[in-house]
Amino acid sequence: MTTDTTGTAARDGEPRRGGPADSPFVRACRREPGPHTPVWFMRQAGRSLPEYREIRANVPMLESCRSPELVTEITLQPVRRHGVDAAILFSDIVVPVAAAGIDLDIVPGTGPVVAEPVRTAADVERINPIGRDDVSYVDEAVRLLVAELGDTPLIGFAGAPFTLASYLVEGGPSRTHAKTKALMYGDPELWHALCARLAEVTLSFLRVQVDAGVSAVQLFDSWAGALSEADYRRYVLPHSAHVLAGLAGAGVPRIHFGVGTAELLGAMGEAGADVVGVDWRTPLDVATRRIGPDKAVQGNLDPAVLLAPWPVVEAAVRRILDEGRAAPGHVFNLGHGVLPETDPEVLTRVVALVHELSARPAA
């Protein structure tokens, strides 16, 4: 018996039935039929859960990301509570950037804040390559989680070069990404050097997670929707494609997600994803026509709908499952992260409803 990088025990080359690689989530990512439409929520581990707020009460965000025990507990919380079909590693997109030597913090209610923004060639040189030893707490947390989760798959993730570059160039969150775009248009050579460095950091961070046993990876390019398709193709796609191509042989599905990306869905699929994440603005059947028949889709309930009365939520879930039938594989999710004010009971009910409405008799 051998163990491959997906953490799936294999005998005579046959995947073991029942392991995470045979889960409804991984099957849907691979466009294979399964017992029901799988569901998980971006930002499911976080501030909507009282047990999360309790455990995080006196621990700063980055410190909690560096504690394998805390990461394991926080990652498991939504799995226990909601019965979601996948866990997502508790971490943040800026964790590998901090490991690469950039001085930054995650400020509650604001997000990542960078001490010295990256705007010159010398600044780009400050971004060091990373390896397993620089993020050993992530390696350890993934191994602990894979052992705890059994058949439930664990999703690893990282930020894509554009979204990471935006935080580094702006120095923090930005509505317009004006400084980022000024660098991109004004000094394309420096821009590509910055994104190439970030792509290496991201790829290394994802490889550590894959080697430790995650069953899928998601590349978050949350802010890519700020770009036109032409600019996305010219300034961003090659760098995201480098990350995704670097994982092509890893044996785990690759999910690629951004917000406001209606015009970019085809290009984001071309960057090398197996699954394209869709926000709530584009119906999944329309998205599928843009992405093409050889990729699964993930999404796309508006997170704000969860704040409405249950009949509204139920109708939206039914509509999304219907629209998702146009795709060759559908992973139910929100169109962006869970809002902190969401009632966790509603998330639990959504999981049960998705499972009930999508149940397929065993083949």
Whichever of 56 and 239 has its CB closer to ligand CP3, that residue is 56
Least Cα distance to 94 among 53, 57, 122, 66 occurs for: 66
Minimum CB separation of residue 276 from ligand CP3 in Å reads 15
Q: Is 47 in the site for ligand CP3 (CB under 6 A)?
A: yes
Residue 92 within binding range of ligand CP3, rule CB under 6 A: yes
CB-nearer residue toward ligand CP3: 4 or 302: 302
| Site of tokens 């690689």 | 21
Region from 2-10, 11-19, 36-44, 142-150 binding ligand CP3, contact rule CB under 6 A: 36-44
Nearer Cβ to ligand CP3 (92/231): 92
Only one of the segments 103-111, 235-243, 244-252, 349-357 lies at the binding site for ligand CP3 (rule: CB under 6 A); that segment is: 103-111
**Span from 38-46, 201-209, 290-298, 326-334 in contact with ligand CP3 (CB under 6 A):** 38-46
Report 336-355 residues binding ligand CP3 (CB under 6 A). 337
Angle, helices 310-324/284-291, rounded to nearest 10 degrees: 30
With binding defined as CB under 6 A, does residue 60 bind ligand CP3?
no
Q: How far is residue 20's CA from residue 114's CA, in Å, rounded to a whole number?
A: 37
Secondary element (H or E) of residue 64: helix 61-65
Q: What residues are paired with 331 via a beta bridge?
A: 298
The residue within the footprint of ligand CP3, chosen from 21, 26, 71, 93 (CB under 6 A), is: 93
Phi, psi (5° rounding) for residue 111?
115, -160
Between residues 47 and 292, which has the closer beta carbon with respect to ligand CP3?
A: 47
Question: Annotated active-site positions, please?
Answer: 43, 47, 56, 92, 167
Output the six-digit token pair for 244. Answer: 């995704």
The position carrying tokens 């009930």 is: 356
C-beta nearest to ligand CP3: residue:
222
Per CB under 6 A, does 175 bind ligand CP3?
no
Residue of 25, 137, 157, 205 interacting with ligand CP3 (CB under 6 A): 157
| CB closer to ligand CP3 out of 336 and 355 | 336
In the list 28, 42, 99, 297, the residue contacting ligand CP3 (rule: CB under 6 A) is 42
Q: Note whether 39 binds ligand CP3 by CB under 6 A.
A: no
Looking at the Cβ atoms of 57 and 363, the one nearer to ligand CP3 is 57
- Which is nearest to 42 in space by CA: 261, 311, 303, 292? 303
What do you get for the CA distance between the two ends of the chain, in Å? 28
Instruction: Establish if 150 lies at the interface with ligand CP3 (CB under 6 A).
Output: no
Cβ atoms of 95 and 136 within 8 Å: the answer is no
Q: What's the burial of 356, exposed, middle or buried (CB within 10 Å: 0-12/13-18/19+)?
A: exposed
Q: Is residue 84 within the footprint of ligand CP3 (CB under 6 A)?
A: no
Burial of 151-183, coded b for 16+ CB within 10 Å and e otherwise, reads ebbbbbbbbbbbbbbbbbbbbbebeebeebbeb
Is 205 among the residues that bind ligand CP3 (CB under 6 A)? no
Segment 218 to 277, residues that bind ligand CP3, using CB under 6 A: 220, 222
- Residue 164 and residue 115: Cα distance in Å, rounded? 15
Tell me: does residue 155 bind ligand CP3 (CB under 6 A): no
For the bound state, the minimum distance from the C-beta of residue 18 to ligand CP3, rounded and expressed in Å, comes to 25
Strands 104-107 and 111-114: antiparallel
Cβ–Cβ under 8 Å, residues 51 and 346: no
40 binds ligand CP3 (CB under 6 A): no
Cα–Cα distance for residue pair 93/257, rounded to 1 Å? 13
Interface residue list for ligand CP3 (CB under 6 A): 42-47, 56, 61, 88, 90, 92-93, 106, 108-112, 157, 163, 220, 222, 337
